[in-house]
Structure 1
């Protein structure tokens, strides 16, 4: 997922650590958040770095990081974070997670995404993260109650199908399912195929919607869908910009190993 970003950060002399929670993804939000905390502390001990860190996350990973910094560490603020970049994050809960659990619409949606976003035989009832990030869940409520931290700079990178191109995300004809204001579901071009913009809104966060040039959707529409965003050249360039431009002279960077 991050194999396009890593070399760019190396070229920009930005040291980085990569946290992978694949092996514990079924454990749930809080255990993964605590594992992230342990990982950061281990890396600090290993490198001797004790200054502020920047966090770059994709999708639910953003919410897991936020759960650590806002819910678990919100009052203590022991974890020093300067910048949090979320790529396609479902900050308000995932409309798709809710749709997966809809007894009428869910099976059809899952069939459309089988082999694309979910595996054969996928059962949302067995997916801990999906259950925890349904809109209105306790996890989402805890994030909302905690609120963002005023000592963290939040940036959100989103994609939109600005030209209504079906190839943007063929499974849904180029659109993204979202919760309609009056209830139920509706399809929108304001999303990345998986996460609509309404899921991502976060008070006080800086938001950039890509592509900057809609013509990019005619050339490579598939690069702007949710699954491909971490490897999208425009996303990678923006992340590099955030990590390098925001660095001030008083900010120490982790030593390179």
Structure 2
């Protein structure tokens, strides 16, 4: 009899469930049931609407399978904040959602510096131009993107998450990519660096990020943090595997997610690079 917790897989902004195609067979091989939540048809919807759809999806899968125990939730990018909004804001007091652990890959937990940068009247247009075909489509207008507006650090959505705080009945795990060797090939669009807020309120770039999400956007009090690669030499072989859009397919991260879902991983937090 399989006693593994089902894993609910939540993809990110402008992504799709295919991002889990490297993880899915690994979970199958280790007898971890998984449910892929697909919100690709909800372009234009806000955080709360997608979070409610995630709640309904989990409930439907529970009814379909007859499973009544806790689940694990594995998310990429903003999918982490969708799950957190469900668990902390919508369900925080009731705690009807039974979740053992939340694994976030490259999450903008504190709001997205990139979302704010998109809206910067001076830097935004050039940043968007560089990311066309890499992270955003042609003729992209951030003003028309509900999720991008809701993930700006000073938005009501991020404020609601901040007020609610994390839940003490859930183990939070954060998996991050970093350019540990400062190689420009890591994310050529920005010469291997990631944009983030500077202490003076301005902008700066850092190697402590995955090209799109800096570590400062991701960190949460009490959450375990793993920074990849664990061996910097891996960046010399495949630097692109540690960038934001590819992280869920990275073999090293896939193995770590598998270990967490089977509870065979030991804490392996690393100190992020400083600049």
* TM-score, scaled relative to structure 2: 0.89
Quick check: 1:25–1:32 contact (8 Å CA) kept in 2? no
Q: Out of 102, 105, 123, which is 2:120 matched to?
A: 102
Confirm or deny that 1:241 pairs with 2:259. Answer: yes
Q: Secondary structure of 2:74's match? A: strand
Q: Out of 141, 144, 147, which is 2:165 matched to?
A: 147
Once the two structures are TM-superposed, the CA of residue 26 in structure 1 deviates from its matched residue by 1.5
CA–CA separation in structure 2 for the residues paired with 1:18 and 1:26: 20
Aligned residue for 1:250?
none
* TM-score, scaled relative to structure 1: 0.95
CA–CA separation in structure 2 for the residues paired with 1:20 and 1:243: 20
Aligned residue for 1:168?
186
1:81-140 per-position Cα deviation (integer Å, ceiling 9, x unaligned): 001000000000000000000000000000010000000000000111000000111000
Once the two structures are TM-superposed, the CA of residue 25 in structure 1 deviates from its matched residue by 3.1
CA–CA separation in structure 1 for the residues paired with 2:264 and 2:172: 12
Which portions of structure 1, spanning 4 or more consecutive aligned residues, are displaced by more than 2 angstroms?
A: none
1:55-96 per-position Cα deviation (integer Å, ceiling 9, x unaligned): 000000000000000000000000000010000000000000
Structure 2, gaps ≥5 residues long: 1-18, 266-275
Higher relative contact order (CA 8 A, sep 6+): 1
CA–CA separation in structure 2 for the residues paired with 1:193 and 1:37: 31
CA–CA separation in structure 2 for the residues paired with 1:25 and 1:244: 33
Instruction: Report how many residues are paired.
Output: 247
Q: Out of 144, 147, 171, which is 1:126 matched to?
A: 144
Confirm or deny that 1:26 pairs with 2:19. Answer: no
Confirm or deny that 1:226 pairs with 2:244. Answer: yes
Structure 1, gaps ≥5 residues long: 248-257
Once the two structures are TM-superposed, the CA of residue 184 in structure 1 deviates from its matched residue by 1.0
